[in-house]
Amino acid sequence: MTSQDSDKNRVEQLTRLYRSMCLIRHVETALTRLFANGEVPGFIHLSIGQEAVAAGVASVLEPQDSLATTHRGHGHVLARGMDVTGFMKEIMGREGGLCKGRGGSMHVADLSLGILGANGIVGAGIPIALGSAMAHKARKTGGVAVAFFGDGAMAEGVLHETLNMAALWKSPLLLVCENNGWSEFSPTSRQFAAKLEKLAQAFSVRYAQVDGNDALAVAEATRIATAQLREGKGPYVLECITTRVRGHFEGDAQKYRDADELESVHDNDPLTAARKLLQAAGVETTAIDHEINAQVEAAIEAARADALPRPEDAIRDVYTQNLQEARA
């Protein structure tokens, strides 16, 4: 391959990553408006500023792969290819949502894409992904399972237990830590005394750290990790250093953060960085932004037009059909 071909491939890859990040940003920016207007029930936790992690990791995954995500998981599922209209209906609590409006922001799932679900409990998706990784190995699917977690989960015992079990069984598990420096309302340094690299080393688990605001770097690090996982070399920890722009939840005033830090949160915006590179390569990004924005707005209108779930359907899919008939 010539250097010219390599440059062309790199631009094409970055364009795909930019589209993915752009979709996440437009969806979550719209959600800030919808939440403020009372159109989104419950709480939402946004990943604005962290889009490069989701886009980079998901770009390398294959159809047979699976993932489990967190309460801040919109970006992961959208990057994986979740239908935007079905996603928006779910977040807005509509009957046509991917989980019939019952899961919402913190429990959205789509098993057809290997998306095992988001989770409102810190670290709870980690052992779920381990179980999926064990299934991939047992069934010889050639797939890997990805567990996304934040640095707030590094002190959770379930992570330590998962590292131990995955290492013992050489499970094809990719543990992706989105380290944004915050554990809810406290700096992570006040929540976890160790370093993730040292924790991985304690269980002889391979580890790499990457700039989580560089989508190309995340994609390359993920490519290296998943190649080793598919070769049966056991689990892998990928720590992505990134930035949390919004509060822990939407509506969080972030009074616990230093004013200077808040002013600088946009300095490492992954979309701005990608946009500059693409424009320098002659790629027009404005058209991409307009196209994605139109797609998101159409999804919102479809969600608004969709029916609300019926209260009498609340127990459907909870019990088996025979038990439901027995209760009738």
Average pLDDT of the segment spanning 146-150: 96
pLDDT by residue (tens digit) across 87-99?
999 999 999 999 9
pLDDT of 252 above 70: no
Other Cβ atoms less than 10 A from the Cβ of 126: the count is 25
Are the C-beta atoms of residues 212 and 218 closer than 8 Å to each other? yes
pLDDT greater than 80 at residue 182 = no
d(CA 107, CA 125): 11
Q: How confident is the model at residue 303 (pLDDT cuts 50, 70, 90)?
A: very high
**Gap between the Cα atoms of 224 and 213, Å rounded:** 18
The SS3 of residue 207 is: strand
Residue from 216, 207, 277, 263 nearest 238 by CA: 207
Distance CA 68, CA 57 (A): 13
Going by pLDDT thresholds of 50, 70 and 90, the confidence category of residue 55 is very high
Please determine, for residue 133, whether its predicted confidence score (pLDDT) is greater than 90: yes
CB neighbours of 104 closer than 8 A, spacing ≥ 6?
41, 42, 90, 91, 93
174, β-bridge pairs: 146, 236
- pLDDT > 90 in the chain, percent: 68
Query: Computed from CA positions of residues 132, 120, 237, 272, in that sequence, does the dihedral angle turn out positive or negative?
Result: positive
Cα–Cα distance for residue pair 306/100, rounded to 1 Å: 11
For range 182-194, the mean pLDDT: 71
Domain with residue 139: its CATH number is 3.40.50.970
Which residues span the domain enclosing 111? 3-327
Instruction: Give the orientation angle of helix 51-58 with respect to helix 215-230, to 10 degrees.
Output: 40
Does the pLDDT at position 139 exceed 60?
yes
Q: Report the C-alpha gap between 264 and 278 in whole angstroms.
A: 23
Q: Above 70 in pLDDT, residue 112?
A: yes
pLDDT digit string, tens, across residues 216-249: 999 999 999 999 999 999 999 999 999 877 767 6
- One-letter amino acid of 88: M
H or E stretch covering 174: strand 173-179
Domain count, the chain: 1
* Strand pairing class (186-187; 182-183): antiparallel
Q: Are 86 and 96 in contact (CB under 8 A)?
A: yes
* Angle, helix 3-36 to helix 215-230, in steps of 10 degrees: 100
Q: Note whether 278 and 11 are within 8 A (CB).
A: yes
**pTM of whole model > 0.85?**
yes
Question: Which single residue is written with the structure tokens 């959205």?
Answer: 108
CB–CB of 82/299 below 8 Å?
Answer: no
* Vertex 71: Cα angle to 173 and 17 (nearest 5): 65
